[in-house]
Structure 1
Amino acid sequence: MRMAIDLAHIFQMFRAKIAITWTIVFAENCLIALIPLLIGLSIDGLLAGRVSELGWMMAVLCGLCFLAVGRRIYDTRAYGTIRLHLGDELHQRCSSLHVSRRNARIDMSRELVDFLEHEAPQLIAALIQLGVSLTILTYFDMSLGLSSLLVLTGMLLVYACFHRRFYNKNRQLNEQREQQVDVLTRGERLGIFRHLRALRRHEVAISDTEAFVYGGIFLLQVGFIVFNLYQAAGLAGITAGRIFSIASYSWEFVEAALTLPIALQSWSRLSEITRRINSNGDLSLG
């Protein structure tokens, strides 16, 4: 029995290429996570007449530039190769399907690789940033770390309320996309208009759901930022550099936390795509 085409299958087939790029992503984002702390230390060092901290910050930024450029050059070639082989494999598996569905599913399969190339590194970066921010904020004051955990929990609960809706709306959109070649082949102007209008309707529904999710999450993050700044101002022995670091890591935590629902939404979409490209028939009623 053939393995299903999914993220696990792609990773197993191309684990060396993916492992290399994800290792670079990990190193790159560890350095990025240190930047606010190094800026805060540089501020305090310069105010005290020292430049050593500034030198360390410059070295880290140069290393970060080298890693970022190298990874992007490598990624284009590695993931291009993965798309090539995945498209060829899916074409062979779906050879019995009508060309309209086969075309749509090959396009959908590319979204799996897009996730590994774009969303997965963003998720890795977010997890690193969340961990570093949580650790440093907790080091500055326990209440800052506790507020971070509370807002993260609230954010995940907000997304959980919309997961099923994301899945269903993406199922409807993908079913419509599978009909596109047939609609264009018939060439009926009214049919094409109705098809495009249906695509628009499904895309609007997904976008509206995203807006409600991000709006709810952002309101939680506003309260988090306000609380952390107010709490930091009252800490004993606080310095300008520490205030900057707390403010920066609080905002970094917000940005990283906002990446999680994007990744979770992508997971909902890819779950539907995986089910669809591994079926041999019509999922419009599935």
Structure 2
Amino acid sequence: MNLKHIISEYKWQFLLMLILILLDAGLLILFPLFIGYAIDDALIKGYQGAICLGLLGLATLLVGAGRRFYDSRFYAKVYERLGAKIGDQPDKSASIKTAHLRFLTEVVEFFENSIPEIINNSIGLIGTLVIIANLNLQIFTGCIINLFVILIVYGVTGKRTTRFNSSYNNELERQVTVVSDNHPISLRRHLNKLMKWNIKLSDLETVNFSIIWLFMMAFLVVSIVVAIGEGGISYGTVFSLVLYLFQFIETTVVMPIFYQQWLRLTEIINRIKHV
């Protein structure tokens, strides 16, 4: 299976999805700003800000729902086509074919669910940084420092993640054969090996996440103190800044998970690339 070939074959469908994803991301990033405007407007007994916030919510719903209706039908077609090719391989055992169908499900789910989230989070991260830089340069500097910390943590552990995924997938390809042998001891040994690699992956992610979370919480506390200490800005602006800080933290915590999914996806594609 060659991803470039798939994207080339369905280029117009992918282009339409990309446009919808970008539009959805652009609308989502406006929410904290519109909430701040609505608060400032409400403090002077105005309702225009609240109405604009409601219209933004409606537009986001229409774009997001339309994209999801389209995505599910398109990726179902891609899965059916590639799945049939995996099944039509006489040189592969039933165990390997079954494992590869499961791998294909992960690939399709990554494109359907994770790719939109990656684009949304990437645009959200860039937009959030631009807005924070305009609201408070000190907090923006703190954001950049935290991004470097994340890159270092996950960059150091990337090869280990790939190695654990490879070992897990090697064992998974044996599953149907082990089950077919109907030998309880062999099955238990197989499941034990699967869970061993699964636990290693989970432990590595937990350690990485814990390190990042500690940095983020320290950064959040300091940033709120800095924001409140600034004079001459409205309550709505302070509230918007805090919301953008939460959005920055949420995005930066989630993005490394997508990176780990991509590492696993790359390992899987190397296994089924000849489909």
CA contact (8 A) 1:28 1:68 kept: yes
Q: Which residue of 2 aligns with 1:167?
A: 162
Name the CA distance, whole Å, in 1 between partners of 2:202 and 2:218. Answer: 25
Q: Which runs of 5+ in 2 are unaligned?
A: none
| Residue 53 of structure 2, aligned match among 47, 50, 57 | 57
CA contact (8 A) 1:6 1:112 kept: no
Q: Which residue of 1 aligns with 2:238?
A: 243
Name the CA distance, whole Å, in 1 between partners of 2:126 and 2:229. Answer: 24
For residue 43 of structure 1, report the CA deviation from its aligned partner: 0.3
| Residue 124 of structure 2, aligned match among 123, 129, 141 | 129
Residue by residue, what CA displacement relative to the aligned partner does 1:77-127 show, whole Å, maximum 9, x if unpaired? 1111111111123334x4312221122112212222111111111111111
Residue by residue, what CA displacement relative to the aligned partner does 1:147-171 show, whole Å, maximum 9, x if unpaired? 1111111111111111011100100
Residue by residue, what CA displacement relative to the aligned partner does 1:195-226 show, whole Å, maximum 9, x if unpaired? 11111111111111110111111112112211
CA contact (8 A) 1:25 1:124 kept: yes
Q: Which residue of 2 aligns with 1:86?
A: 82
Name the CA distance, whole Å, in 1 between partners of 2:204 and 2:60. Answer: 36
For residue 279 of structure 1, report the CA deviation from its aligned partner: 6.3
Name the CA distance, whole Å, in 1 between partners of 2:76 and 2:274. Answer: 25
SS of residue matched to 1:50: coil
Q: Which residue of 2 aligns with 1:284?
A: none
Q: Which residue of 1 aligns with 2:252?
A: 257
Q: Which residue of 1 aligns with 2:62?
A: 66
In the TM superposition, 1:87-236 aligns within 5 A as 87-92=83-88, 94-236=89-231
CA contact (8 A) 1:229 1:247 kept: yes
Instruction: Say yes or no: does 1:76 pair with 2:72.
Output: yes
Q: TM-score, normalised by structure 1?
A: 0.92
SS of residue matched to 1:49: coil
SS of residue matched to 1:236: coil
Structure 1 residue identity aligned to 2:151: L
Q: Cα RMSD between the aligned structures?
A: 1.5
| Residue 30 of structure 2, aligned match among 18, 34, 43 | 34
Q: Aligned residues, how many? A: 275
Q: Which runs of 5+ in 1 are unaligned?
A: 281-286
Q: TM-score, normalised by structure 2?
A: 0.95
For residue 174 of structure 1, report the CA deviation from its aligned partner: 0.3
